[in-house]
């Protein structure tokens, strides 16, 4: 079976973006109030819930793994947007502005994915979804450590690159789950 990573990636992002824009329409950009550490914690909650569902196989809330991965994609984009916006930027952003910022972050992250896929040979296709969950959790703990160190690193990439990796791992999981 031939694969087209670009098309699969775009299909998953279209699902995530649709939900993101609908929620922005409903709630505005209330997420602008969140500090970076709070966004990281939101991603942690979603990844931890996925891991729990993977291990226990039962959901008492009714939301499934797919919706949690979509949440991770969207919170990673929120995090990257927040990192780029000036502190004096308005809390409420126009829907079209949010869409442009969303698309910009997705484009940057997709370009990174293709660069890494070139070097790794799409190894993610042979990984278990549970491993992708664990990689997201590891990246979250890295981000938390960087945040606790006030953004200072000695030898590692920064917070934004970790959000990009988490976003890409979540997209890979959604592709493997058949989201289109």
The pLDDT, as a whole number, for residue 62 is 66
Secondary structure of 117-167 in HEC code, one letter for each residue: HHHHCCHHHHCCHHHHHHHHHHHHHHHHHHHHCCCCCCCCCCHHHHHHHHH
What is the pLDDT confidence band of residue 121, given thresholds at 50, 70 and 90?
confident
pLDDT digits (tens, 9 = 90+) for 1-55: 447 999 999 999 999 999 999 999 999 999 999 999 999 999 999 999 999 999 9
pTM of the model: 0.94
The pLDDT, as a whole number, for residue 61 is 67
Alpha-carbon span 102 to 69, nearest angstrom: 17
The pLDDT, as a whole number, for residue 59 is 65
Whether residue 60 has pLDDT greater than 70: no
Whether residue 70 has pLDDT greater than 50: yes
The pLDDT, as a whole number, for residue 1 is 42
What is the pLDDT confidence band of residue 56, given thresholds at 50, 70 and 90?
confident
């Amino acid at each position: 079976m031939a694969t087209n990573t670009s098309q699969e990636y775009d299909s998953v992002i279209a699902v995530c973006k649709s939900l993101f824009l609908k929620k922005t329409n409903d709630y505005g950009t209330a997420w602008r109030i969140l500090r970076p550490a709070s966004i990281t914690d939101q991603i942690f909650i979603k990844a931890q819930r996925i891991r729990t569902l993977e291990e226990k196989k039962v959901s008492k809330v009714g939301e499934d793994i797919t919706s949690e991965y979509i949440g991770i994609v969207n919170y990673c984009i929120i995090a990257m947007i927040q990192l780029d916006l000036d502190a004096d930027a308005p809390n409420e952003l126009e829907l079209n502005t949010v869409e442009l910022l969303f698309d910009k972050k997705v484009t940057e992250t997709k370009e990174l994915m293709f660069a890494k896929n070139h070097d790794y040979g799409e190894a993610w296709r042979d990984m278990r979804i549970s491993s992708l969950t664990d990689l997201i959790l590891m990246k979250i703990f890295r981000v938390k450590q960087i945040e606790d160190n006030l953004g200072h690193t000695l030898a590692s990439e920064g917070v934004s690159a970790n959000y990009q990796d988490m976003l890409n791992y979540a997209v890979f999981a959604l592709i493997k789950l058949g989201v289109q």
